[in-house]
């Protein structure tokens, strides 16, 4: 039994059904060719974006597969839920990410200190904050002994996750497309932090 050119069971599917009065312009690509082309195009776009979304692991990064870390400020999950708002809990304890441009701290330009919303440890100085145009508060360096990092391989990428050194709360990620002098961009979730303005 032969299959007609336009039979849905025909794997070549080279041309659409002809309509009366419409001239044929030649064979059209099959659905498979279209999907392969779209996939290749998406891969090409992704290849151009990946360098800005990922960065090599920093020295001292802790792999996720290693033994659990111990932190000075440690509470049960139930206690963390009591201490934090639902949004803070989602970010700090579940490693969530807030929507870009949703945090008032993104537009905070006063002199002061950004601290961990989980344990109040000072994390960043306003002197190192810059507008990264990404929608998240960004800094070119943290305060000394304020944060820890570990390698994050979720979503098929290798990134450097940043967390509070004292309580382990997830803050965001660090990338290597920041300004001088470090060339780093600590891209933080506003919900993971609080801000204390500097006294006049």
Q: Which domains does the chain have, with CATH numbers?
A: 77-197 (2.170.150.20)
Pairwise CA distance, residues 150 & 140, whole Å: 18
Tens digit of pLDDT for each residue in 48-76?
Answer: 333 344 444 444 444 444 556 789 899 99
The per-residue pLDDT for 155 is 87
The per-residue pLDDT for 67 is 55
Sheet holding 129-130, edge to edge: 62-63, 147-152, 159-164, 170-175, 185-188, 138-139, 129-130
Please answer whether residues 89 and 81 qualify as being in contact, where contact means their C-beta atoms are separated by less than 8 angstroms.
yes
Annotated catalytic residues are: 187
Q: Looking at the whole model, is its pTM more than 0.95? A: no
The per-residue pLDDT for 13 is 35
User: Which CB contacts under 8 angstroms, 24+ apart, belong to 9-18?
Assistant: none
Tens digit of pLDDT for each residue in 110-156?
Answer: 999 999 999 999 999 999 999 999 999 999 999 999 999 999 998 88
């Amino acid at each position: 039994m032969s299959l007609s050119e336009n039979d849905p069971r025909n794997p070549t599917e080279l041309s659409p059904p002809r309509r009366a009065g419409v001239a044929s312009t030649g064979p059209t690509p099959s659905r498979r060719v279209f999907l392969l082309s779209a996939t290749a195009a998406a891969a090409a776009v992704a290849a151009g974006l990946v360098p800005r979304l990922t960065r090599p692991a920093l020295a001292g990064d802790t792999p996720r597969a290693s033994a659990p870390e111990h932190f000075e400020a440690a509470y049960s999950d139930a206690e963390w839920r009591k201490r934090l708002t639902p949004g803070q809990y989602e970010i700090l304890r579940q490693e969530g990410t807030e929507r870009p441009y949703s945090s008032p701290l993104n537009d905070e330009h006063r002199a002061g200190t950004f601290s961990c919303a989980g344990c109040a440890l000072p994390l960043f100085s306003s002197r190192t904050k810059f507008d990264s145009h990404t929608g998240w508060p960004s800094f070119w360096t943290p305060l000394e002994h304020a944060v820890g990092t570990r390698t994050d391989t979720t979503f098929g990428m290798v990134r450097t996750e940043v967390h509070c050194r004292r309580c382990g709360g997830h803050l965001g990620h660090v990338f290597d497309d920041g300004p001088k002098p470090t060339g780093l961009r600590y891209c933080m979730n506003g919900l993971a932090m609080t801000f204390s303005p500097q006294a006049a």
